[in-house]
Structure 1
Amino acid sequence: MSVEKNIEYDVDKYEYLPPEGGWGYMVCIGLSVIFIAGTAHQPVFGFIYNDFLDELGVGTAAVTVVFGVFQVTLAVAGFSANIALKKLTLRQVGLIGAFIYTLASFLAIFVKSTTQLIITNGFLQGLGMGLLIPVSYTSFNSYFTKKKVFYLSLCKASIGMITMFYPLFIKFTITEYGFRGTLAILCAISAHSIFGAVVMHPVKWHLVKQLKPCEKIVLIPPTPAHEDNKGKFNFDAPGIETSDNTHSVENLYRINRLENPQKGAELLFVSKLTDSRRLSIPVVLIPADGKIDSKFDSSDHVYRENLYKAASVSSLGNFGNIAAEPMPIIKNKEGKWQTVAEFLDLTLLKDPVYVNIIFGLALTFFSDLTFFTLEPIFLDKVHLSKAEIANIIAVGGAMDMSARLFLGVAGQFFRMNSRYMFFSGALLTALFRFVFIQFSSYIPLLILTGILGSLRSLVHIAQPIVIAEHVPIERYPPAYGLYMLLAGAISLSVGPMIGFVRDYTGSYALAFNMMTMCNLCCVVPWAIEAITKYRKNRNCSNTPNT
């Protein structure tokens, strides 16, 4: 009997939290290995296949086709990873992606035509990385809550540093081992993605036991279910009758307000209760610090939130002779499209803040990648020498790496909001990019590229964390998958549009201004959202309690 009491006491007193380290360090290494194996060679893809494509007589057009197929497959596979995760674990999906990517790299050794190149380096590698990316970021975000910026900065810095040395490495391998030998070495490097997937252990294997903070239990008044109520909760619905001697949840709520009219709807504090006495009472448990971010999810009619627990907790114990009324369930009218939406978790799109986030992320990230892809061509058009162009690109990369390391160190001492980081990066990049196109001489372009490189780190480090800080971790795979799908669609639609405008007008300045507009399409809606939220909070604080 005493053993059972001790176990019950232990469950009530302690909770299990992400380790903020421990095996999480291995997850960081695995994430870095996956991205090094899968993306580090992409900037030198043209250098690797240049002679091979010349032999086929297809030129650089094949490169754009391969990258186009890769981006489309990457986006679709990233979105489809959510479907796979409904049946498989994160590590299983990651291993499937790693094996597909390694197989693609192996088959690439034997390519003899453009079609084979598109299948291996475009379709299969895109499919493998599309599965690996959401798995990697989901695992990382599940292991860290307080120092995500710090550890992700270190991961991104290591990836960027290896990528910087890849051109020299590829030049050496082609000289020593030839074209096919280089592809064989790249296949061996790609196989390390299997190691990266293997170390993605479920976080439940490594949770840390800590003392629970005291919690406040909020009793939510019951609401009758009406078919014609169109799925809305009505806390003041007429026609509810309760007996005077029945202490329902609503009565407790009303009594609490009557006893404390000056405080409005006061929270009801209840001590910790055991599982031996069960009631079905709708509640919300709020952390002791009182910091909550509750949100109402109209798709399933419960309070979806970033609280510790939500709705329908059944172990509240005995309040005396309470005859508690269970919360009625309001059912949605299900149809085939509703079933598809729930299966793919498309209900995320009902959250306007989430939609605003992914549009801003996708447009800014696309703008960043496109700018640094076109910059060397622009520098050549303004008649800079090859050495000057190489110096400018090197300075941009070095400043990017330095900024990532700086953010990593700063993240050790300060907890930075990832969305503020991304917003700052998008805004400042837009401003300095506009200044960039006003110059055509070496020194100003060198300095501005260094500034833009350092600002790039804000965008790249914050990008995967912004979504993780908005949605619960169990919804991160579909949330990131939808973002990848949107990013692929923008790349396919906006990318050719910018290319057409540049080719038609012959103006790089106009093309760069279009990319700057992509940044502003993130900055302006995010600023409007922040202002709206600020005014709403201010109005709520100024409204007297009734």
Structure 2
Amino acid sequence: MASEKNALVSSPKTQKVIKLVPPDGGWGWMVLFGTALSNIFNQSMLSLFSLLYGDALEAMGHRTQGAAIVMSTMLFVTNFGGPIAGAVVKLTSTRFVAVTGACFCTSGIFFSGFSTNIWHLVLTYGVLLGLGLGFIQNSSFVAINSYFKLKKSRAVGLANVGTGVGQTLMPHLVRYLLEHYGFRGACLMLSSLSLHGIAGTLLIQPVEWHLKQVEEEVVVDENLHLLQDKTRKTSQSNGDAQNGNEKSNFGSKKELNGGKINKSETNGVNAAATPAIRPQKQTLMKKLYDLFGIALLSDIRFLNIVIGTALAVTSIQNFSMLYPFFLQHVASMDKQQTANCMSAVAGADIAGRLILPVFQDKYKIKARWMLIMTCTWLIVVRQILAYQTNIEVLILMSCLYGVGRSMIIVARNIAISENCRMDQVPAAVGLGMLTMGIIVPPAGYFLGWIRDYSGSYVTCITAQNVLLVILLVTWIPDMIYLLLKEKRQKKVDAEQPET
């Protein structure tokens, strides 16, 4: 009886199709190597400013305020260069933008060695290096995003390991170069090392050269095929009839016009019956609107994501700036103990970039969920850390903080890219950087004001954690809604009878 039922129910027909998919490896590993190489010598410059340019600024007659001007300019240009990079990627290629960014970085470091006043540093370190870093950050992520699908988080983590390695090793190299070659010699040597970034970004090839062919079975909709065949036959018969009419009309009109032929009729179009349709020209504003992906800003969920990631980045950047002062003024540590804690953060950060993405890829956890778990982890760790003064406990808490910080850096752009189409990723990442450029400076100044007004590092760390609480409050309901929606859809699909 069961066999008769199975015979009555026709199984759906399938056919094999060839799809082109990202390689999830292959030449993608070379892209990762090139990006990591560029990050070692370029992205690490963010943490080297005080060490490399501190004495030069003092010789120019500037101290903390002058350093703040140069650093603020660099961060502003880096973040606002993101949308520009996204637009240029659409017009050219990720490789062109990455190589251009690496050239800007090398030029900025090289010319900064000849600075004689603060405005030279603003132009070289602030503008040239800042623009280069913005171009590299955007284009390298777009390239990695196009090469990897299943291993995306792992790939981004490996590429960002270069930044951690640079931040760990480069300070020792800079100290050596300053002692033996002076400020100008150190800048020239660092710019020569930055040339490796250009070589690295040249490894970014168009993903179309390396796409894999995958054979998949898809269900054939017979009704759709019948409809397509009917439409094709109808259009062919109409076309034959129209060609016959045109030939007869052409012959009669040739006689009536004394052998002269109208251009519209030679193209098979009757100008009197069918008016010519001209494509509408896009205005400049419309082109810019599409180029910079402004339509993404009309999506409430996208706005929620970019604002949340900006708040998370603001929180960890401000804590990184505050932490050495906390260790020295609250925990009463000397410079060596402070350096040990900072090294613990850097080492754990590198380990986190290698381990956590593997965990995420294995269990297929969305980047936003990883950020939610990471922010919860950081809130607990930092709030406990704020009350500690023992060196052993602080080193342990530094390691725990470094692991959590690594996931913020790895997952922020992935979270943005998960909410848009592949062709929108360059613009989306650029808008995310732009949001950070808008939010980070005022939020950072406000957190600094809280520290000065309250006179308490604990209060300031708590305020930094409040930014992460805002992310949790705005993200968790939306993620729960999406999870329930996905479960309902799966239930509906399971209940549908097979045809």
Coarse TM-score class (shorter-chain normalised): 0.7 to 0.9
Q: Say which of 288, 300, 310 aligns to 1:352.
A: 300
Q: Say which of 38, 57, 68 aligns to 2:72.
A: 68
Q: 1: distance between equivalents of 2:62 and 2:233?
A: 72
**Aligned residues of 2:150 and 2:361 also touching (Cα < 8 A):** no
- Taking a change above 3 Å as real, the CA distance of residues 279 and 370 of structure 1, as seen in their structure-2 partners, is farther
- The aligned amino acid for 1:381 is H
Q: 2: distance between equivalents of 1:279 and 1:121?
A: 67
What's the secondary structure of 2:312's corresponding residue? helix
What's the secondary structure of 1:214's corresponding residue? strand
Q: Counterpart in 2 of 1:208?
A: 212
Question: 1:371 Cα shift?
Answer: 0.4
Q: 1: distance between equivalents of 2:309 and 2:291?
A: 24
Q: Counterpart in 1 of 2:119?
A: 115
Q: Counterpart in 2 of 1:422?
A: 371
**Aligned residues of 1:393 and 1:449 also touching (Cα < 8 A):** yes
**Aligned residues of 1:29 and 1:196 also touching (Cα < 8 A):** yes
> C-alpha offsets along residues 318-344 of structure 1, whole Å, 9 cap, x if unaligned?
xxxxxxxxxxxxxx9x98866643342
1:128 and 2:132 equivalent?
yes
1:443 and 2:392 equivalent?
yes
> C-alpha offsets along residues 241-269 of structure 1, whole Å, 9 cap, x if unaligned?
xxxxxxxxxxxxxxxxxxxxxxxxxx977
Q: 1: distance between equivalents of 2:402 and 2:226?
A: 54
- Taking a change above 3 Å as real, the CA distance of residues 468 and 412 of structure 1, as seen in their structure-2 partners, is closer
Q: Counterpart in 2 of 1:105?
A: 109
> C-alpha offsets along residues 345-374 of structure 1, whole Å, 9 cap, x if unaligned?
111112222111111111101111110121
Q: Counterpart in 2 of 1:77?
A: 81
Question: Which one has the largest radius of gyration?
Answer: 2
Q: Counterpart in 1 of 2:193?
A: 189
Q: 2: distance between equivalents of 1:505 and 1:451?
A: 27
**Aligned residues of 1:94 and 1:135 also touching (Cα < 8 A):** yes
Q: Say which of 8, 32, 41 aligns to 2:45.
A: 41
1:144 and 2:148 equivalent?
yes
TM-score, normalised relative to structure 2: 0.80
Question: 1:459 Cα shift?
Answer: 1.4
**Aligned residues of 2:16 and 2:215 also touching (Cα < 8 A):** no
> C-alpha offsets along residues 21-40 of structure 1, whole Å, 9 cap, x if unaligned?
11111110121122222221
- Taking a change above 3 Å as real, the CA distance of residues 148 and 278 of structure 1, as seen in their structure-2 partners, is farther
What's the secondary structure of 1:191's corresponding residue? helix
Q: Counterpart in 2 of 1:406?
A: 355
- Taking a change above 3 Å as real, the CA distance of residues 542 and 94 of structure 1, as seen in their structure-2 partners, is closer
Higher normalized helix content (fraction of residues): 2
- The aligned amino acid for 1:79 is P
1:361 and 2:309 equivalent?
yes
**Aligned residues of 1:147 and 1:415 also touching (Cα < 8 A):** no
Identify which range, 186-195 or 441-450, moves more after superposition.
441-450
1:519 and 2:468 equivalent?
yes
Q: Counterpart in 1 of 2:243?
A: none
Gaps of 5+ in 2: 1-14, 236-279
- The aligned amino acid for 1:361 is T
**Aligned residues of 2:360 and 2:366 also touching (Cα < 8 A):** no
**Aligned residues of 1:147 and 1:411 also touching (Cα < 8 A):** no
Q: Counterpart in 2 of 1:341?
A: 289
Q: 2: distance between equivalents of 1:95 and 1:27?
A: 13
What's the secondary structure of 1:451's corresponding residue? helix
Q: 1: distance between equivalents of 2:157 and 2:363?
A: 13
Q: Counterpart in 2 of 1:262?
A: none
1:375 and 2:330 equivalent?
no
> C-alpha offsets along residues 268-315 of structure 1, whole Å, 9 cap, x if unaligned?
7759989x94999xxxxxxxxxxxxxxxxxxxxxxxxxxxxxxxxxxx
Q: 1: distance between equivalents of 2:358 and 2:16?
A: 37
**Aligned residues of 1:392 and 1:449 also touching (Cα < 8 A):** yes
Q: Counterpart in 1 of 2:446?
A: 497
- Taking a change above 3 Å as real, the CA distance of residues 516 and 408 of structure 1, as seen in their structure-2 partners, is closer
Q: 2: distance between equivalents of 1:72 and 1:215?
A: 51
**Aligned residues of 2:41 and 2:166 also touching (Cα < 8 A):** no
Q: 2: distance between equivalents of 1:273 and 1:22?
A: 39
**Aligned residues of 1:27 and 1:200 also touching (Cα < 8 A):** yes
Bigger RCO of structures 1 and 2 (CA < 8 A, at least 6 apart) = 2
**Alignment size in residue pairs:** 434
- Taking a change above 3 Å as real, the CA distance of residues 541 and 28 of structure 1, as seen in their structure-2 partners, is closer
- The aligned amino acid for 2:194 is S
| Identity across the alignment (%) | 27
Within-5 A mapping of 1:314-333: none
Identify which range, 406-415 or 204-213, moves more after superposition.
406-415
Question: 1:117 Cα shift?
Answer: 0.6
Question: 1:536 Cα shift?
Answer: 4.8
**Aligned residues of 1:53 and 1:60 also touching (Cα < 8 A):** no
Question: 1:215 Cα shift?
Answer: 4.7
Gaps of 5+ in 1: 1-10, 218-266, 281-331
- Taking a change above 3 Å as real, the CA distance of residues 345 and 404 of structure 1, as seen in their structure-2 partners, is closer
- The aligned amino acid for 2:440 is S
Q: Counterpart in 1 of 2:402?
A: 453
**Aligned residues of 1:138 and 1:473 also touching (Cα < 8 A):** no
Q: Counterpart in 2 of 1:486?
A: 435
Q: Counterpart in 1 of 2:424?
A: 475
Q: Counterpart in 2 of 1:161?
A: 165
Q: 1: distance between equivalents of 2:113 and 2:141?
A: 30
Question: 1:17 Cα shift?
Answer: 1.3
Q: 2: distance between equivalents of 1:435 and 1:500?
A: 22
- The aligned amino acid for 1:115 is W
What's the secondary structure of 2:91's corresponding residue? coil
Within-5 A mapping of 1:219-230: none
Q: 1: distance between equivalents of 2:148 and 2:387?
A: 43
Within-5 A mapping of 1:300-311: none
Q: Counterpart in 1 of 2:240?
A: none
- Taking a change above 3 Å as real, the CA distance of residues 437 and 196 of structure 1, as seen in their structure-2 partners, is same
- Taking a change above 3 Å as real, the CA distance of residues 273 and 28 of structure 1, as seen in their structure-2 partners, is farther
**Aligned residues of 2:83 and 2:433 also touching (Cα < 8 A):** yes
Question: 1:93 Cα shift?
Answer: 2.1
- The aligned amino acid for 2:354 is L
Q: 2: distance between equivalents of 1:112 and 1:397?
A: 33
- Taking a change above 3 Å as real, the CA distance of residues 21 and 532 of structure 1, as seen in their structure-2 partners, is closer
> C-alpha offsets along residues 361-399 of structure 1, whole Å, 9 cap, x if unaligned?
111011111101210011111122222212211222222
**Aligned residues of 1:98 and 1:132 also touching (Cα < 8 A):** yes
- Taking a change above 3 Å as real, the CA distance of residues 270 and 61 of structure 1, as seen in their structure-2 partners, is same
Question: 1:412 Cα shift?
Answer: 6.8
Question: 1:456 Cα shift?
Answer: 1.3
**Aligned residues of 1:379 and 1:389 also touching (Cα < 8 A):** yes
